[in-house]
Structure 1
Amino acid sequence: MAPPHVALFPCSGIGHLIPFLRLAATVAARGCTVTLITLHPTVSAAESDQISKFFALHPHIKRLEFQPLSFKKSKFFNEDPFFMQVEAIGNSVHLLDPILSTLSPPLSAIISDLSVASSISSFASDKSISTYVLVTTSARFFSLMLLLPKLAALSGIQENGHLELPGLGPVPISSIPPPMLDSNHFFSAVINSNIPCLSNVKGILMNTFTELESASIEALNSGRIVPDLAPVLALGPFDSFEFEKAPNLPWLDEQAPESVLFISFGSRSALSRDQILELRDGIEKSGFKFLWVLKANKVDKDDKEDAQTILGESFLERTKKQGMVIKGWVNQDQILAHPAIGGFISHCGWNSVTEAARLGVPVLAWPQHGDQRVNAAVVESAGLGLWAADWGWGGEKLVVGDDIAAKIGELMLGKDLRARAKEAKEIARKAREIGGTSDGFLRLLAEELKLQEI
């Protein structure tokens, strides 16, 4: 019997691409034939670089390059370059139908990004191809997405109010991204248009694990969030698709164990110039060693200024023994795995949260937009880190250097916090081992895919 043939289709942005690459490598390792659908062109250089690296490391995985139609402005508010590409993809999915029909061997299943799930599942079902959806956020935020029609009616609630949601407990209104409550915004529209198909797909795959989000996963699978939802399979935390190796950073190799603070706000978040300067001052005042991935523009292709121009030559000179500033893409997974890293200032994109959990690094959560405040609540409730909730959304207020320095000290000197992060690492390891919760879900997925071939 031929192995099942699975296609994976991620949407725009490195935060969506990375979990798809990791899942593609995992599914291929389980004996499936895998085709990865990649976008051309990508919005960011980081996406293009990661795709090239992935296929160099995994030549047995097939590549299908897809060029969506040009973006045309719709009635929805959409000025984010990544969302603009997602909207263009959604308007172009019909072009994939004849292409996928010619693949050999024929497809057994498609694992789709949530952003295009409705269109993919529609033409896949006509061809008896099973559809799975990979959701790239936390189970907690996904639960909110499922309840969006109800949430939209709550837009007039005062910001200091709370929602009591099944399986989630109280969720502050202030943690729900404003675009999600705006029916004229593309972020809200793309959720609303794709949620209805989730009762018809074969399964919903998530880069989380039961022990990290037990209440949310149980609520999703019990029907308490919404009835008739497809089974949620918590497969995470996903392993890196690259072979384990140390980052090429000699300075980091020279530092004492757990002595360095790692600062990164992900691939789509850029602090304001004023906030970058306050963060600079807070890092220096804290006195801790640091490795800072500096980003001044949302899209990396537009990020032209060097660190000296942004931070000032005097800062770099004063702190040359204290720390290191990097402009450009880094392999965050490899840095977090380095024994010198003792803490992580993060925007709490979900990939960053799961990497910190898998590698046992305590987090200082500083959410900027989207799902990140809800994810920060997961970090805090799981004991994986701290969340300065009064700092608000990114750009909502200017957080001063003294406050940042104080939180850095709390993070880096917190022995109990570090111990809890190490416990999370051990729990994540057990979840992925044979007999663990995530391994069980992965085995179930593998068996389902094999059944498609019978």
Structure 2
Amino acid sequence: MEQPEPQVPHVVFFPFPAHGHIKPMFRLAELLSHANFQVTFLNTQRNHDLLLLSSDIPAFRSRYPNFQLLSYPDKVPLGLDPHRRSEQGFVDLLLSTKAAAKPALSELLEKKTGRRPPTCIIADWAIMCSSAMDVAKEFGNIPVFAFQTACAHYMWMDFHLLKLIEEGEVPLRGYKDMDKPVTSISGLGMSVRRRDLSGFARFDTVCKQVIEISTNYGSSAVSQAYGVIHNTFDKLEAPVISKLSSFLPFKIYTIGPLHCLLNNYCIKDSNPLHSINVTICKEDTNCITWLDSQPSGSVIFVSFGSLVSLSRSQILEIGQGLLNSCRPFLWVILPNPIVGQQEDDSTPGQILMELENMSKEKGLIVSWAPQEKVLAHPAIGGFLTHSGWNSTMESIYARVPMICWPTEADQLVNSRCVSELWRIGFDMKDTCDRSTVEKLVNDLMEDKRDEIMKSMDKITRQAEESVQEGGSSYCNLQRLITDIRSLIPT
């Protein structure tokens, strides 16, 4: 008598609607598709459309016929662009997302979309996880995994927010004593100053709102999760991961760097892995040709991610500092809407033209670039970055040291780790003047390069080992796959 074929797991992904959150979750979704899982990826309509525009969808669907892309209506507050926002605007986005997320997921599960019920839901940390947990209970207690898109150090500090408030460390009023050490959080393996705390700590009202959201929606929901999936690797953050493991009542799956894990599967696969290009706008691939003409290790790559707004003075100070360093540079500056309020009557277009005129002899400015390919290019010698976690992981794997100019959320913690803990770059936090930019570029590219690259070589090697067969991230992904399969009802 023939045995019935084993059932295939069906995993629903539920990311927070921001580029830096969607990208790593999508990479994991691809990896689970590679393991022959059914995958449903649920995005807001805006981000869903951007994904469809950025990729060869027919080729992707041919490779992964069981990968389903679905969307739900955006409910962004009037006048708030989720890709250009203030700290308060981010809180508004959190609350509006919470309002839209739960009914969207409920509707998906009710419709069933021709598939078996979800084996589990993988939901972004806090807001999305809270919504997923509420819906999961309504549909028979579907297991929910929380996905943490920030580093483990930020996660550990996040658990200490209430303690920081009780001891008067936050909110940071008046930006006084910003270099004062924070003694309320132990086990980080480095000294932390007030200026290294989350960007939300700098705003009184916002800080209280974020803590309320984190407490009411995040912590209570995450504590009920089946496990936490983390885009990091064990050796990078071992002491903090150990603390989290003893603190949290469930499994932690450290499976980063996710883009490298996916690349390894691509190499092993006899069929090409048609990965979707998770990006917010069209990439300028001509920059690769420009890099081909530059000497090895000579170029400083500059990109502040998809959210940072720059004023005229900030653009010109950074630009002049780059020029004064006499190093060729490739700078990503998003189109007009991303440029912030100006101190004079200059339009964003005029400012970009002014910058291009300044730099045309030495640099190249593009609206968006294929960052992983750029960082892997032999011409790149350094990265001036906003210190988003995806950028940090990509830079580590590509063996490119960093100058960090963080502005919000976990970026401030990441930059401290880069400079103080891992010693693979410099922290330019709260500074934006041409002399500092010039000095740090020259330190990174020449004066202090040997010392930094010694640390970078070690960490890059650990990252490479983690995603190889038998490495910690590789094994943790296999453990996650096995655990999800075990959730299928018998």
Q: Shorter-chain TM-score category? A: 0.7 to 0.9
Q: How far did 1:137 drift?
A: 0.6
Matched ranges for 1:138-157 at <5 A: 138-156=151-169
**CA drift at 1:273:** 1.5
- Give the superposed CA RMSD: 3.0
The correspondence for 1:167, drawn from 177, 181, 187, is: 187
TM-score by structure 2 length?
A: 0.81
Residue 368 of structure 1: aligned partner:
407
Structure 1 contact 164–171 (Cα < 8 Å) conserved: no
Amino acid at match of 1:431: S
Which residue is 1:94 aligned to? 102
Report percent identity of matched pairs: 26
TM-score (norm 1): 0.87
Q: Distance in 2 between matches of 1:54 and 1:20?
A: 17
Contact 2:56 2:276 in 1 (8 A): no
The structure-2 alpha-carbon separation of the partners of 1:178 and 1:79, relative to structure 1 and needing over 3 Å to count, comes to closer
| 3-state SS of paired residue (1:112) | strand
- Counterpart selection for 2:17 from 6, 12, 21: 12
Aligned residues between the structures: 433
Of residues 178-187 and 106-115 in structure 1, the stretch that sits farther from structure 2 once superposed is: 178-187
Listed as ranges, the matches of 1:269-288 within 5 Å are 269-288=308-327
Sort the Cα spacing of 1:182 and 1:28 in 2 relative to 1 into closer, same or farther, 3 A: same
Please give the secondary structure, in 1, of the residue aligned with 2:258: coil
Structure 1 CA distance for aligned equivalents of residues 240 and 253 of structure 2: 12
Q: Secondary structure at the match of 1:355?
A: helix
Mapping for residues 91-130 of structure 1, pairs under 5 Å: 91-95=99-103, 96-103=105-112, 104-114=115-125, 115-126=127-138, 127-130=140-143
What is the CA distance between 1:232 and its match in structure 2? 1.9
1:299-355, Cα deviation, whole Å (9 max, x unpaired): 48999x998621554x5345334210112x322112111111110001101111011
Q: Distance in 2 between matches of 1:88 and 1:308?
A: 32
Using the TM superposition, give the Cα deviation of residue 181 of structure 1 relative to its aligned residue in structure 2, in angstroms: 7.3
Which of these residues, 90, 93, 96, is aligned with residue 85 of structure 1? 93
**Aligned with 2:364: secondary structure?**
strand
Rounded Cα–Cα distance in structure 1 between residues aligned with 2:98 and 2:459: 37
Alpha-carbon distance in structure 1 between the residues aligned to 2:186 and 2:376: 36
Aligned equivalents of 1:290, 1:433: Cα separation in 2: 33
Question: Paired residue for 1:339?
Answer: 378
Supply the distance in 1 between the matched residues of 2:284 and 2:203 (Cα, whole angstroms): 44
Match of 1:401 in 2: 434
Instruction: Structure 1: state its 5+ residue gaps.
Output: none
How far apart are residue 214 of structure 1 and its match? 1.1
95-104 vs 197-206, greater mean Cα deviation: 95-104
**Secondary structure of 2:118's partner?**
coil
* Counterpart Cα distance in 2 of 1:100 and 1:300: 40
Which residue of the other structure, out of 35, 38, 60, is the alignment partner of 1:33?
38
* Match among 296, 304, 309 for residue 350 of structure 2: 309
Aligned to 1:22: 27
Q: Which amino acid aligns with 1:168?
A: L
Q: Is the 8 A contact 1:135 1:206 kept in 2?
A: yes
Quote the residue 1:202 is aligned against. Answer: 226
SS of the residue 1:167 aligns to: coil
State the AA in 1 paired with 2:73.
Q
Q: Residues of 2 paired with 1:38 and 1:449: CA distance?
A: 22
Q: Contact 2:301–2:330 (CA<8 Å) still a contact in 1?
A: yes
Counterpart of 2:200 (choices 170, 173, 179) is 179
One of 49, 63, 70 as aligned partner of 1:64 = 70
Written as runs of structure 1 = structure 2, the 5 A alignment for 1:321-332 is 321-327=361-367, 329-332=368-371
Q: Deviations over 1:171-204 (max 9, x none)?
A: 2222113524767424333322211222211111
In the alignment, structure 2 segments of 5+ residues that lack a partner are: 1-5, 80-84, 171-176, 263-274, 278-282
Matched, 1:452 2:487: yes
Of 206, 214, 223, the residue aligned with 1:191 is 214
